[in-house]
């Protein structure tokens, strides 16, 4: 499928559109060449999950999310049951699995090498440091880690965690030159 066909599908999905075309394009451009394991930390209502699955139909896409509807550990971090919208949006997707738990719970027994890790879970520094320490070691050499909202000034903890872990500042443009909120790092 082309990016345009995929993005048209996700525009029609239930839920907020926190996956603008520039960010979806980043995921598409990386995932389309992968035939392996893609792990997504935080999936909300599945728009990014759908992009990953459709761009890489021969991959196993595993989303990890407790489905509590939070994007921050702050008391005002939304909080609603996102499962109905998520399962409706992903109903016809054959290469998708969901682990309804925190990323830390899922990491305990994880052994599968990862080709692409998309991190879009809790957006605070402490949780990002945990996600990095628990998940980045599983990425294959030559694989990718993508941090959503890396460039968003509202979530400074993402860049701080990446900087402290030695990730070099990525190019702000996606692979086709459009501005993106994603930070893309090759391992």
Average pLDDT of the segment spanning 165-172: 73
- CATH architecture of the domain with residue range 3-7+22-186: 3-Layer(aba) Sandwich (3.40)
Q: For 104-116, what is each residue's pLDDT tens digit? A: 999 999 999 999 9
Instruction: Look at residue 96 in the predicted model and tell me its pLDDT.
Output: 98
The pLDDT value given to residue 155? 87
Measured distance CA(141)–CA(113) in Å, rounded: 10
- Do residues 144 and 186 touch, judged by C-beta distance below 8 A? yes
Could you tell me which of 187, 185, 172 has the C-alpha nearest to residue 22?
Answer: 172
Please give the pLDDT value at position 24: 93
Q: List, in sequence order, every beta strand (DSSP E) within 78-149.
A: 96-99, 114-119, 139-147
Residue 34 pLDDT level (bands cut at 50, 70, 90): very high
- Buried b / exposed e across 141-153, counting CB within 10 Å, b at 16+? eebbbbbbbbbee
Return mean pLDDT, the chain.
88
> How far is it, in rounded angstroms, from Cα 186 to Cα 140?
10
Helix (H, G, I), strand (E, B) or coil at 172: coil
- Are the CB atoms for 57 and 135 separated by under 8 Å? no
Q: Is the pTM of this model over 0.95?
A: no
pLDDT in tens, 36-46: 999 999 998 89
């Amino acid at each position: 499928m082309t990016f345009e066909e995929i993005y048209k599908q996700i525009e029609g999905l239930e839920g907020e559109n926190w996956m603008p075309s520039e960010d979806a394009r980043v995921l598409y451009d990386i995932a389309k060449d992968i035939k392996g394991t893609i792990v997504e930390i935080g999936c909300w209502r599945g728009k990014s999950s759908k992009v990953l699955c459709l761009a890489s139909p021969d991959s196993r896409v595993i989303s990890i999310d407790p489905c509590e509807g939070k994007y921050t550990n702050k008391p005002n971090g939304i909080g609603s049951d996102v499962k109905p919208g998520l399962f409706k949006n992903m109903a016809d997707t054959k290469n998708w699995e969901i682990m309804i738990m925190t990323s830390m719970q899922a990491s305990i027994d994880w052994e599968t090498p990862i080709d692409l890790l998309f991190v879009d879970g809790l957006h605070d520094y402490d949780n990002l440091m945990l996600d990095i320490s628990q998940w980045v070691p599983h990425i294959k050499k030559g694989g990718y880690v993508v941090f959503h909202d890396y460039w968003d000034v509202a979530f400074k903890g993402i860049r701080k965690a990446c900087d402290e872990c030695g990730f070099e500042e990525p190019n702000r443009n996606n692979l086709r030159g459009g501005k993106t909120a994603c930070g893309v790092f090759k391992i």
